[in-house]
Amino acid sequence: MKIISLTPSFNQEYLCIRDLNLYNSPSCQELATQAQQGRQLKFISLEITEKGLQIQLREDNYLAWLCGEDLDAIALATTAYQKIPLTRSDIEKHIPEIITFTQEARNRTNHYLWGGTLAPNYDCSGLIQAAFATFGIWLPRDSYQQEAFCQKINREELLPGDLIFFGDKRVNHVALYLGNNQYIHSSGKETGNNGIAINLLTDDRDSVSRHY
């Protein structure tokens, strides 16, 4: 166990000065999420356990582990993160751009990356979070958290830009509805496209559509 000496800032908030990988345990072996340059975080503890320090990302309150070797990638934040309240119209005006973001991400060479929130490789909820966050709209990180955050509607009410959630006992996948029965998502290799693709809500001829 090792104590890291960091000068605490207001509320112990720090700024990512480069893109960061963050992990799901103090061993820092399995990716949990990624933080883009410019995001803010605070430490849950300044005590290194194994290889990592537990942090909380400020924009979505996501808990993860920062590898001690990456401490040079953060700097004291000059101001504390402040959430900006958004209205429905604030969000709706960005829907065409959000859809374009996902389509442009699909057009780049990519593969599915568990924990990925940075281009070009995303997991399902990472793609959705990144698409909205690019326009200042912060959704929770994981698909089941995003589902709890959203308002449930009937399938007949679906509009482009709505989120579609998949899963049995608990949500484990999310996609963005494009209209015309189509959705865009990042899915894994075993049951999906191993990357970002467009599928149909109902298409028995397509193994991915049948799975989800």
pLDDT of residue 48: 82
What is the number of structural domains in the chain?
Answer: 2
Which are the catalytic amino acids? 124, 173, 185
Q: Are residues 35 and 62 in the same domain?
A: yes
Same domain for 33 and 114? no
Measure the CA–CA gap between 166 and 186, rounded to whole angstroms: 13
Domain membership flag for residue 42? yes
pLDDT of residue 209: 74
CATH number of the domain where residue 52 is located: 2.30.30.40
Q: In Å, how far are 70, 85, 158, 164, 205 from 155, measured between CA atoms?
A: 44, 28, 6, 9, 21
- Among 41, 76, 111, residue at a domain's last position: 76
For residue 114, give every residue at least 6 positions away whose Cβ sits within 8 Å of its Cβ, in sequence order, or none: 30, 31, 123, 188
For residue 102, the domain's CATH number is 3.90.1720.10
Q: What is the dihedral of CA 125, 130, 132, 136, to 10 degrees?
A: 140
Residue 107 domain flag: yes
Residue 81 lies in a domain: no
Angle at 167 between CA 163 and CA 169, to 5 degrees: 130
In 28-170, the DSSP E strands lie at 31-35, 40-43, 47-48, 52-57, 63-67, 74-76, 117-118, 121-122, 163-167
Distance CA 18, CA 15 (A): 9
Question: Does any domain span residue 82?
Answer: no
Per-residue pLDDT of the chain (212 residues; tens, 9 = 90+): 555 555 555 568 999 999 999 999 999 999 999 999 999 999 998 888 889 999 999 999 999 999 999 999 999 999 999 999 999 999 999 999 999 999 999 999 999 999 999 999 999 999 999 999 999 999 999 999 999 999 999 999 999 999 999 998 899 999 999 999 999 999 999 888 999 999 999 867 777 776 77
pTM of the model: 0.92
What is residue 11's predicted lDDT score, i.e. its pLDDT? 64
User: Of 76, 107, 132, at which residue does a domain stop?
Assistant: 76
Residues 108 and 178 in one domain: yes
Structure tokens at 113: 């990356």
Q: Residue 5: what pLDDT?
A: 53
Tell me what pLDDT residue 49 has.
85
Looking at the fold, whether 92 and 59 belong to one and the same domain comes out as: no
Domain that holds residue 143: 88-211
Amino acid at the residue 50: E
Does 173 share its domain with 131?
yes
Instruction: Say yes or no: 122 and 167 in one domain.
Output: yes
Q: What are phi and psi of 40, to 5 degrees?
A: -115, 150
